[in-house]
């Protein structure tokens, strides 16, 4: 196994789909195997980007969609240049809990900036920097709502209605017709999903 080859992976999907728990399990695995890694998240990943995260996800903020997208792009640019690219260069597997696909779905589709317009901005401003593979967690809206009921609200998207979660699912369906995406049935047991992720990881390293 070549442990020196760095690359970038992302985890995407709707609210409460279990991405973050799976990233924790993956981190344990990488640590045990002594495979160099860096775990990060979006919006966030740098001090500046984490500050923007709290502004973007704040409830009752009065920023409009253009302002929100520009803040996300600024945060992402900083994250890519300061953290992701340097870590890949050092031979690490970089894993981000959400990345550009979330912007294509949440701002582009759900909040109607337009998927094509959002992808164009990503190309123009961020040189179309994308992960090697994306684990896309899929969960029905009913399951999302059941899981969210048991959770304390974390951000402005957590407590939205059925239509919002339906739209998020539709958005992911539209953008994910590409071999970069590995579909994960998020209703399956935690260990089953973990093993599937490790299987795909082993194909990459
Ligand atoms: P999470 O970290 O708990 O998944 O929450 C992040 C929230 O931010 C989630 O509801 C999706 C949203 N988001 C966007 O709207 N656009 C983006 O570009 C990103 C990365 C996240």
Residue 66 in 3-state DSSP? helix
Q: Which residues pair with 136 in a beta bridge?
A: 12, 183
Q: Strand ranges (DSSP E) for 104-161?
A: 133-138
The pLDDT tens digits of the residues spanning 73-96 come to 999 999 999 999 999 999 999 999
Domain residues of the chain, as ranges? 7-204
The pLDDT tens digits of the residues spanning 133-176 come to 999 999 999 999 999 988 877 777 766 789 999 999 999 999 99
Radius of gyration of the chain (CA): 16
Reference 133, options 190, 83, 201, 56; nearest CA is 201
* pLDDT score for 159: 67
* pLDDT score for 2: 47
Interval between CA 102 and ligand 1 midpoint (Å): 6
Global pTM reads 0.96
- For ligand 1, whether the C-beta of 57 sits within 6 Å is yes
Site to probe by mutation for ligand 1, drawn from 14, 52, 57, 156 as the one with most ligand atoms within 8 Å of Cβ, is 57
The pLDDT tens digits of the residues spanning 36-65 come to 999 999 999 999 999 999 999 998 888 999
Q: In what order do the strands lie in the sheet with 181-185?
A: 37-41, 93-97, 7-12, 133-138, 181-185
* pLDDT score for 134: 98
* pLDDT score for 4: 66
* pLDDT score for 143: 97
The pLDDT tens digits of the residues spanning 95-137 come to 999 999 999 999 999 999 999 999 999 999 999 999 999 999 9
- For ligand 1, whether the C-beta of 72 sits within 6 Å is yes
Class of 7-204 per CATH? alpha beta
For residue 1, is pLDDT > 60? no
């Amino acid at each position: 196994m070549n442990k020196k080859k760095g690359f970038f992976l992302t985890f995407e999907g709707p609210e409460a789909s279990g991405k973050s728990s799976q990233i924790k399990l993956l981190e344990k695995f990488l640590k045990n195997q002594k495979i160099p890694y860096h775990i990060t998240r979006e919006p966030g990943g740098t001090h500046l980007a984490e500050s923007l995260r709290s502004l973007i996800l704040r409830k009752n903020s009065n920023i409009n969609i253009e302002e929100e997208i520009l803040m996300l792009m600024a945060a992402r640019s900083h994250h890519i240049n300061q953290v992701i690219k340097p870590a890949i260069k050092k031979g690490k597997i970089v894993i981000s809990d959400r990345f550009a696909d979330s912007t294509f779905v949440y701002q582009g589709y759900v909040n109607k900036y337009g998927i094509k317009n959002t992808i164009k901005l990503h190309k123009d401003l961020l040189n179309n920097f994308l992960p090697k593979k994306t684990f896309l967690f899929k969960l029905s809206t009913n399951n999302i709502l059941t899981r969210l009921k048991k959770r304390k609200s974390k951000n402005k998207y957590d407590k939205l209605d059925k239509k919002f979660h339906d739209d998020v699912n539709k958005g992911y369906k539209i953008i994910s017709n590409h071999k970069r995406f590995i579909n994960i049935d998020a209703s399956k047991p935690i260990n089953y999903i973990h093993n599937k992720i490790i299987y795909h990881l082993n194909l990459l390293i």
